[in-house]
Amino acid sequence: MKKVIIIGSGIGGLIAGNLLAKKGHQVTIFESHSRPGGYTAGFYRKGYYFESGTVSFEASASVFKAMKEIGVFEKIDFVKQKIRFVSEDLEGTPETYDDYKKMIYTAFPSDKEKLDTLFSDLDKIVGLMGDVDKPMPFLCSGLEMLTSMLHYIVNSPKLIKLSKQYGRMTSSEFAAKYFEKDSKLFKLFSGFGYPDMPAMFLGGAISGIFSDYWTVKGGMQSWADILAENFRKQGGELQLDSYVDKIITKNGSAVGVSCKNNVYDADYVISAGDYKKTLLKLLDDKSFISQELQDNIDKAAVSEGFFTVYLGLNMSNEELGKYMRVPHVFTFNNKPGYDIYNSEDSEFFSKTSVSFYSPSMVNPKHAPEGKSSLMLQSIVPYHWLNNWGGGDKDVYKQLKKKAMEAMIIGATGLIPNLKEYIAYRDAATPLTYERFTHNTAGASSAWSWNPKKKFYKNTMSVNIKTPVKNLYIGSCWAMQIGGVPGALAAAYQCAKNIK
């Protein structure tokens, strides 16, 4: 039996904790917040429920496998998501990749030849993305691992070829091959997912959003709570409101943590949080980390943050559904001058598209009777307007209010007279997310998705080991593109390495 300390109770920390406790280890999770979950959490305000960060996830075969092995699958009501797309040129709720293609062809008939060329290439990428019904190899061992890797082994020559062709190409560069820059189709394909994500992942992202996009009916917080309860039942200890201020090392090895002026010994420490802050802030002795590595960590780009508006509406789910039709709606209506990289554009939120998500349309219990809950989101330029006011609280409040008003106005394109129905409103900036999750700059999915800004050499590798012996990364930060799949893979690898 080993004594293991986990810093953070996000989805990675909770899964690692459950797996290790099940193996008989003595595990303690320290969580700085008052409830578990991290980005995979939620909260109530005046009877309305909202998601804290994550609203959906993919890699369901891996998630379901983990929940079954932990023993909580039957307690969680996973729900398949449908996505509606809306712009001035198209509207639809495709259920398959082919449906999506038909929607695009119908909206842009004069561009058929260009679309034929694009989809000819995109189809090849989609065809090699693997079977969504099989779990990631990182979660498997023995024959099961071989089976899960079979697709990639058989298709390795094609994968290598496509990786060389598209692995370091951004989605903007990919779109520019087929469409004129600033054209509607260029904006549509270059703006799908994270800014300048790898072209290699574009096909998978587009097809996966129809075949493998899920949420939790009870809300993400219910998922985290179920995992936390199961962890405790297996003998694990979860300490809430307990910020770890130091990772203690001895002879180049992690031997414990410091929390609230108390020292807790451990054989292993798993940081289920931000890689940067783990090594640059929490580590008590950085002398065995080269200055070059410290500089690389410090300069490494992280994924963009979100601005989220939370609205409680005096509108029934049925009435909201007349406008939304499904709980999750993506709009593509960026105004002239929109630039996700322009941090000095004071009018950015009047130009950006708005995505809509209604927790109460997934589950009516997420709002008072006869009312509904709605979230409006947009990806934000990094450190917008001197990082939201340069530390001036009054300026911060003004900018937050301005952004919120602009987002609400933008949302009226889908929901007319939205303002008249608002009973509750609030918003979260990247600074809000950083305060609650400790993710650098409020990063929503660990490191940058831009293939030209990679921290890890191999985009698909799982990197739990650090320069410090017995200190592991058990969060989405162990993979370049992070997310729930990254956190899951990291948790499993941590559990495998601690025997």
**pLDDT single digits (tens) 137-165:** 888 776 666 666 555 565 566 667 777 78
Shared-domain flag, residues 292 and 338:
no
Give the pLDDT of residue 406: 98
Weakly modelled stretches of the chain, pLDDT under 50: none
Q: Beta-carbon neighbour count of residue 113 at 10 Å?
A: 9
- Residue 493 placed within a domain: yes
- Residue 92 placed within a domain: no
Number of domains within the chain: 3
- Residue 245 placed within a domain: yes
Q: Provide the CATH number for the domain around residue 17.
A: 3.50.50.60
- Residue 207 placed within a domain: yes
Are 320 and 379 a contacting pair, CB within 8 Å? no
Shared-domain flag, residues 45 and 155:
no
Shared-domain flag, residues 295 and 309:
no
Q: Provide the CATH number for the domain around residue 408.
A: 3.30.519
**Sheet arrangement for strand 26-30:** 237-239, 26-30, 3-7, 268-271, 471-473
Which structure tokens are listed for 28?
């303690």
Give the pLDDT of residue 225: 98
- Residue 94 placed within a domain: no
CA triple 52-53-55, angle to 5 deg: 105
Shared-domain flag, residues 201 and 122:
yes
Are 166 and 199 a contacting pair, CB within 8 Å? yes
Q: Using CB atoms within 10 A of its CB, is residue 67 exposed (0-12), middle (13-18) or buried (19+)?
A: buried
- Residue 199 placed within a domain: yes
Q: What DSSP string runs through 328-367?
A: EEEE--PPTT--TT-TT-TTGGGTS--EEE-HHHH-GGGS
Pairing of strands 268-271, 471-473: parallel
Q: Provide the domain limits for residue 139.
A: 115-211
Shared-domain flag, residues 227 and 325:
no
**141-144: long-range pairs with CB below 8 Å, 24+:** 141/496
- Residue 82 placed within a domain: no
Give the pLDDT of residue 250: 96
Are 373 and 49 a contacting pair, CB within 8 Å? yes
Shared-domain flag, residues 28 and 61:
yes
Shared-domain flag, residues 21 and 70:
yes
Shared-domain flag, residues 347 and 382:
yes
Shared-domain flag, residues 171 and 200:
yes
* Listed residues 391, 413, 437: the one ending a domain: 437
Please choose, from the candidates 12, 50, 64, 79, the residue with its C-alpha nearest in 3D space to the C-alpha of residue 312.
Answer: 50
Give the pLDDT of residue 42: 97
Q: What is the pLDDT of residues 403-420, one digit of tens each?
A: 999 999 999 999 999 999
3-class state of residue 200 by DSSP: helix
3-class state of residue 22 by DSSP: helix
Shared-domain flag, residues 324 and 427:
yes
Q: How far apart are CA 246 and CA 285, in angstroms?
A: 10
Collect all residues with Cβ–Cβ distance below 8 Å to 223 and sequence separation of at least 6: 11, 37, 40, 76, 216
Collect all residues with Cβ–Cβ distance below 8 Å to 267 and sequence separation of at least 6: 2, 3, 4, 470
Shared-domain flag, residues 429 and 321:
yes
- Residue 122 placed within a domain: yes
* Listed residues 178, 196, 211: the one ending a domain: 211
pTM over 0.85: yes
Pairing of strands 214-216, 237-239: unpaired
Shared-domain flag, residues 404 and 475:
no
* Listed residues 179, 211, 243: the one ending a domain: 211
